[in-house]
């Protein structure tokens, strides 16, 4: 398939979970993929998967909360591929805590990882996307902690709601340049991070069953579910779509 032929995607947090799934799906559709993150080993592993399947991959070490590293990673990607058309702001972190249980340091860490990172990458990408004649910025928020919220998610919900606001504002600012900005809002997706969180629960299986029961479709999301939607937002089929908040949650926000 070649829905993304000629596209080059810069994917943050590309070494695991949703980022890995996006990289593989994009490559299968003909895009070149740049994998950015702090840990090189998982990025290199995903790059090998992409290349083994006949795709093109580039790995760049990058702390997405540091503007100089973000700019260097984007420059490296543009130099390697010759252009850049797509940004997937996937990197992030979770904190389970209410306001009283959230220190200033925790607050700053979560806001930086989830919101500041999306801002820095998107801002630095603008001139690169302009040189490509436009492009697509795909942000990752949350259905259950961005559109609505849940207990013990003060910093996380604040950061993910902020990503939605960032998406709306940048979509308005750059629509006339052909730079589209949209946001995917998954509910619970089966990732390494989610498994780690529930592993510490006294009864992990019971806790997972209870959480699964809140979703009308009766299952958690798969990383591929998110990747398929990201492919659509990167493809020309969505060329008249910008500033859109897309719940991907098995019906959770319909209840």
pLDDT for 27-38, tens place per residue? 999 999 999 999
For this structure, is 198 an active site residue? no
pLDDT at position 193: 73
pLDDT tens for each residue of 87-96: 999 999 999 9
SS3 181: strand
pTM, whole model, 2 decimals? 0.95
- Partners of 137 in beta bridges: 87, 181
Classify residue 239 by burial, with Cβ atoms within 10 Å: 0-12, 13-18, 19+.
exposed
- Picking from 14, 18, 1, the residue whose alpha carbon sits closest to that of residue 226 is 18
Sorted by where each starts, the structural domains of the chain and their CATH numbers stand as 8-186+222-236 (3.40.50.720), 190-220 (no CATH)
What pLDDT is recorded for position 200? 77
Catalytic residue among 156, 198, 228, 232: 156
The H-assigned helical ranges of the chain are 17-28, 40-52, 67-81, 104-111, 117-131, 154-174, 192-199, 204-212, 223-234
pLDDT at 195: 76
Torsional sign, CA 186, 188, 194, 197 = positive
> Cα 8 to the chain's mean position, in Å?
16
CA atoms of 45 and 16, how far apart (whole Å): 10
Q: Region 66-76: what's the mean pLDDT? A: 98
Beta-sheet pairing, 135-140 with 32-37: unpaired
Characterize the bridge pairing of strands 56-61 and 245-248.
Answer: unpaired
For residue 99, the number of C-alpha atoms closer than 13 Å in the C-beta half-sphere is: 1
* Angle subtended at Cα 128 by Cα 93 and Cα 230, rounded to the nearest 5 degrees: 45
Question: Is pLDDT above 70 for 1?
Answer: no
**Residue reference for tokens 């299968």:** 28
Judged against a pLDDT cut of 80, whether residue 229 lies above it is answered with yes
> Tens digit of pLDDT for each residue in 125-167?
999 999 999 999 999 999 989 999 999 999 999 999 999 999 9
Q: What is the pLDDT of residue 197?
A: 75
User: In terms of Cα–Cα distance, which of 73, 53, 52 is closest to 63?
Assistant: 73
Q: Which residues contact 56 (CB under 8 A, 6 or more apart)?
A: 27, 32, 33, 50, 81
Asked if the model's pLDDT at residue 47 lies above 90, the reply is yes
């Amino acid at each position: 398939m070649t829905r993304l032929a000629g596209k080059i995607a810069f994917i943050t947090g590309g070494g695991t979970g949703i980022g890995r799934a996006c990289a593989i799906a994009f490559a299968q559709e003909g895009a070149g993929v740049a994998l950015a993150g702090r840990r090189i080993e998982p990025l290199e592993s995903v790059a090998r998967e992409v290349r083994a399947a006949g795709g093109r991959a580039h790995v760049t070490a990058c702390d997405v909360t540091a503007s100089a590293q973000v700019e260097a990673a984007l420059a490296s990607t543009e130099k390697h591929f010759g252009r850049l058309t797509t940004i997937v702001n996937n990197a992030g972190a979770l904190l389970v805590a209410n306001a009283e249980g959230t220190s200033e340091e925790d607050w700053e860490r979560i806001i930086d990882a989830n919101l500041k990172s999306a801002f820095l990458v998107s801002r630095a990408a603008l001139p690169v996307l302009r040189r490509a004649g436009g492009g697509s910025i795909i942000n990752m928020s949350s259905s259950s902690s961005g559109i609505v919220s849940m207990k013990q998610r003060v910093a996380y919900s604040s950061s993910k709601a902020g990503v939605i606001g960032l998406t709306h504002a940048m979509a308005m600012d750059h629509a006339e340049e052909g730079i589209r900005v949209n946001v995917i809002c998954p509910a619970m997706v089966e990732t390494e991070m989610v498994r780690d969180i529930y592993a510490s629960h006294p009864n992990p299986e019971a806790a997972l069953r209870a959480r699964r029961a809140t979703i009308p479709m009766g299952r958690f999301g798969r990383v591929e579910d998110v990747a398929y939607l990201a492919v659509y937002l990167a493809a020309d089929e969505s060329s008249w779509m910008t500033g859109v908040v897309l719940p991907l949650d098995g019906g959770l926000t319909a209840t």
